[in-house]
Structure 1
């Protein structure tokens, strides 16, 4: 049997009263006909609570995403730093093996033997090493620093106030912050202070006898 469940009678236009024991249509939600705004307020309250719950979940997921993104960024920076460190160490090790070659090139240049094709190759080698980060150091006139200088000669001078490099016997090299070889230098320091003794005319002479007694001492006896 087909039952007409429309609440409004299409013939009379009045609200139908459901038979006893039968729930009115509308999903079991009782609507007070005298206060139609109550249903709207209840629906709005329910929707607001659901929105608050969804917003809380969204904030939580957003915080998790931001935390994971920050951790991943830190991880990438650590990996990049470690990778660059490995590259720098490898470059420094290879460059250290070529320092003696640079010494030979410098000696050949000092003796005038660096010319022709040999000079072209030497210049390219030096330029390539400098481009990779190799830096020579050790200059006459700079202050002596035991962390980067190796003193093999020492002298003193009156016009020097602090230990100063006065000759560079072999240049030092650094690669970035790493010192590959200290500079071999000669160091000049300030002269030691001269101790001045009192005037000998007012001080006891070498022939002064502590046992000698004057007239006053003889009278006392």
Structure 2
């Protein structure tokens, strides 16, 4: 004979049934969980302080008189060395500026000399035309005067004149003429005049030289 609390499917009575709508009962703090672990603890005092305790550094002991003297001397030496470096740099800068200015002037003189040297053949033509009387009047006389005035502004000077003492720096001897009346080599005639720009000889004068006989 079967028990009255037994259902036809073999389950127990209504007291053993689980109501799916029933709320689960909360577990008490510290009670073991279903997976065998323990529940979380909300007490903040049990948390680990990640920063750890404050560490106080020991106070630095004062320097001795000898150490302070060494530091003062090192500082003075460093300041003196930096001052010397600064003065040296200033002197180098001044010398550099002077060198640049000197090179600029030299380059300017070279350019002017090359330009004038290229125009010397035209100046020779004017000189020969003047010797033949072709520049006594007319527009060519005005052109020759303006051209020579422009050369004078740059410091162009003509060298080589009859009667000058022969100087190999400014004269080029084309012909030597023995002459008992001279005691030193003397320019007897100028074949082609020379020109000097400042201290630079653009072209030596081609001359005939009288030499002592």
Whether TM-score is above 0.5 comes out as: yes
Counterparts of 1:28 and 1:51, CA distance in 2: 18
Give, in angstroms, the shift of residue 65 of structure 1: 0.8
| Residues paired across the two proteins, number | 153
Structure 2 match to 1:59: 80
Are the structure 2 counterparts of residues 183 and 28 from structure 1 closer, same or farther at C-alpha, using a change threshold of 3 Å? closer
Structure 2 match to 1:113: 134
Segments of structure 1 that go 5 or more residues without pairing to the other structure are: 1-26, 30-41, 192-221
Q: Superposition pairs for residues 73-88 of structure 1, below 5 Å?
A: 73-88=94-109
Counterparts of 2:73 and 2:150, CA distance in 1: 64
Counterparts of 1:171 and 1:28, CA distance in 2: 91
Aligned: 1:131 with 2:153: yes
Structure 1 match to 2:198: 176
Give, in angstroms, the shift of residue 51 of structure 1: 5.6
Structure 1 match to 2:47: none
Give, in angstroms, the shift of residue 166 of structure 1: 1.7
Structure 2 match to 1:69: 90
Q: Superposition pairs for residues 139-154 of structure 1, below 5 Å?
A: 139-154=161-176
Counterparts of 1:76 and 1:63, CA distance in 2: 20
Q: Superposition pairs for residues 1-221 of structure 1, below 5 Å?
A: 52-114=73-135, 115-191=137-213
Q: Secondary structure at the match of 1:97?
A: helix
Segments of structure 2 that go 5 or more residues without pairing to the other structure are: 1-59
Are the structure 2 counterparts of residues 55 and 129 from structure 1 closer, same or farther at C-alpha, using a change threshold of 3 Å? same
Range with greater deviation from structure 2 (110-119 or 66-75): 110-119
Q: Secondary structure at the match of 2:189?
A: strand
Summarize deviations over 1:128-171 as a string: whole Å, max 9, x none: 11211322111222222233212222212222112111221221
Counterparts of 1:133 and 1:112, CA distance in 2: 26
Counterparts of 1:154 and 1:148, CA distance in 2: 16
Counterparts of 2:210 and 2:192, CA distance in 1: 17
Q: Secondary structure at the match of 2:111?
A: helix
TM-score (norm 1): 0.59
TM-score (norm 2): 0.61
Report the RMSD for the aligned CA atoms in angstroms.
2.6
